[in-house]
Structure 1
Amino acid sequence: MKFCSLSSCSYANSVVIQSRNTCILIDCGIRKRNLKPYLEQIGLSLGDIDAVLVTHCHSDHTYGLRHLLKLKNLPVCSTVNVLKQVNSCCTFYEQPDFYALHYNSEKKLGDIVVTPYRLSHDVATVGYIITGDGERLGFITDTGFVPENCFKSFKQLDYLYIESNHDPEMYKTSAKPWHVIKRNLGPTGHLSNEQCGQALQTMDLSGCKLVMLAHLSEDDNEPQKAMQNARQYLPPEMALASAPARTPGLWSDRIIKP
């Protein structure tokens, strides 16, 4: 199994996960004009996508979903609460094929198994453990803190995709309104670099091959800051990367074995 970030920032988020026989998209915040070109850059087409997982309804994760579903009818999967909010927020051309997942319960999509976990954001939001080809990926973004259930369940991972959204010090000179800063720093906001580091320190990452930092703020963070912070909590042999903001990154297997 391998994965690749198509876009990761406060503007648009989407990740492709591919196993031997199945290809799924986590979120589709990508604009209409970028979706096909981004997939082509990593050697895929719309025809390769088998399903969409959604983490939550915010537009940076769902903006391109209605366009994607107009081009190809795909199952859209998440928990009931998330799907209800997505259905309310997105103006779909036709009613999507929604498939409800249950917290902490496995669901098979082709030869990939997905398990959703409750996160702490200002709307219903889930993280995932995704298993395929005998490997496990932990996926955690858009949460004000990492809940205890994730620390208990996110074990024996081969890969971890985790939010490292902002540097609190940079907020001191931020142009953002105070209510936005307060929200992002709060328990239903986003993980800071320091919170990400604490999570890496607490998680059992023995055997993990790659940690990818995600959802970095373009205004209130820098990849170098996030990477330097995370590096101190990881063994030197573990690969560490930062997902590019508005362009596809490398497939995970190329990062581990360049």
Structure 2
Amino acid sequence: MRFCTLSSCSYANCVVVQDQHTCILIDCGLRKRDTRPYLAAAGLSPGDVDAIILTHRHIDHVYGLNYFLKEKNVPIYSTIRVLHELNQSMHFTAPPRLNILSECSGQRIGTLGVIPFRLSHDVETIGFIIHGDGERLGFITDTGFVPESCLNAFRDLDYLYIESNHDLDMYKRSAKPGYVIRRNLGLTGHLSNEQCGRALQAMRRQNYKLVVLGHLSEEDNEPRLALDCAMKNLPQGTPLASAPSREPGLWSDNLIQLIKEKSPPE
């Protein structure tokens, strides 16, 4: 199994996950002008995508749904609460093929298994464990804290994609309105670098193949700050990277190889 971020920031979020037989998008926030080029950068087209799974209804995660469904009418998966909020907030040009994921129980999407976990955001939001080819990916973004259920379940993973949204010191100088800052720092906001680090420590995973930090704020964080904080809370030598904000990243297998090549010899 491998994964690739197509965009990871408050502008647009979309991640591709695939095994040997199934290709899914986690969220579909890309603009129309970006969808085909960003997929092409990953060696894909809309025709290669088998399904979309949604974390929540915020616009940076669902903006491109209508356009993508015109390209290929793939099924959309999420929990009943997320799909209900999506239907209330979004006008679909054609009836979508909605499929319900049961919380904390497994379901197959093609050859990939998906287990959703409820998170803590200001709208109904979920994270996932996705498994395929004998490997497991944990996915957590858009949450004010990491629930105990995730901390426990995410201790047995090969890959982790986790939010590291903002740096607390940079937030003290933020140009964002006060109500936005209070929301983002609250229990239904976003994970700070420090919260991400504490979650990594609590998961106590010793042999990740790769950890990727996602959903970094473009105004109130810097990749080096997020990476430094995460590195302090991971076992030495853990492959670690931050997702690019408005452009496709490398596939996870290529990223792991690049990190190994850049690592100094022991």
TM-score scaled to structure 1, two decimals? 0.99
Q: Contact conserved, 1:54 with 1:78, CA < 8 A, in 2? A: yes
Query: Contact 1:174–1:219 at 8 Å: present in 2 too?
Result: yes
Displacement of 1:168 in angstroms is: 1.2
User: Counterpart of 2:172 in 1: which secondary structure?
Assistant: helix
Q: Is the 8 A contact 1:39 1:46 kept in 2?
A: yes
Contact 1:156 1:207 in 2 (8 A): no
Q: Check the 8 A contact 1:3/1:16 in 2, yes or no.
A: yes
Q: Which amino acid letter does the alignment assign opposite residue 107 of structure 1?
A: Q
Post-superposition offset of 1:70: 1.5
2:211 aligns with: 211
C-alpha distance in structure 1 between counterparts of 2:73 and 2:224, whole Å: 39
Matched residue type, 2:55:
T
Task: State the partner residue of 1:91.
Answer: 91
Query: What amino acid is aligned across from residue 64 of structure 1 in structure 2?
Result: G
What is the RMSD computed on CA atoms of the aligned residues?
A: 0.7
Query: One-letter code of the match for 2:139?
Result: F
Amino acid at match of 1:130: I
- Tell me the distance in 2 between the aligned counterparts of 1:19 and 1:150: 23
Question: Counterpart of 2:78?
Answer: 78
Q: Does 1:132 align with 2:132?
A: yes
Query: Identity over the aligned pairs, expressed in percent?
Result: 60
In structure 2, the residue matched to 1:25 is 25
SS of residue paired to 2:113: strand
Alpha-carbon separation, structure 2, partners of 1:230 and 1:98: 36
Q: Post-superposition, which runs of at least 4 consecutive aligned residues in structure 1 deviate over 2 A?
A: none
Answering whether residue 155 of structure 2 is matched by residue 155 of structure 1, we say: yes
- Find the aligned partners of 1:155 and 1:97 in 2 and give their Cα distance: 33
Matches within 5 A, 1:1-258: 1-258=1-258
Tell me the alpha carbon deviations over residues 140-163 of structure 1, each in whole angstroms, 9 at most, x when there is no partner. Answer: 000000000001111220000000
Shift of 1:35: 0.3
Distance, in Å, in 2 between the alignment partners of 1:128 and 1:150 is 9
Deviation at 1:236, TM superposition (A): 2.3
Q: 2:162·2:212 contact (CA, 8 Å) conserved in 1?
A: yes
Deviation at 1:89, TM superposition (A): 1.7
Aligned equivalents of 1:110, 1:244: Cα separation in 2: 28
Contact conserved, 1:66 with 1:90, CA < 8 A, in 2? no
Q: Deviations over 1:25-45 (max 9, x none)?
A: 000011010000000011011
Contact (CA 8 Å) 1:156, 1:208: kept in 2 or not? no
Aligned length: 258
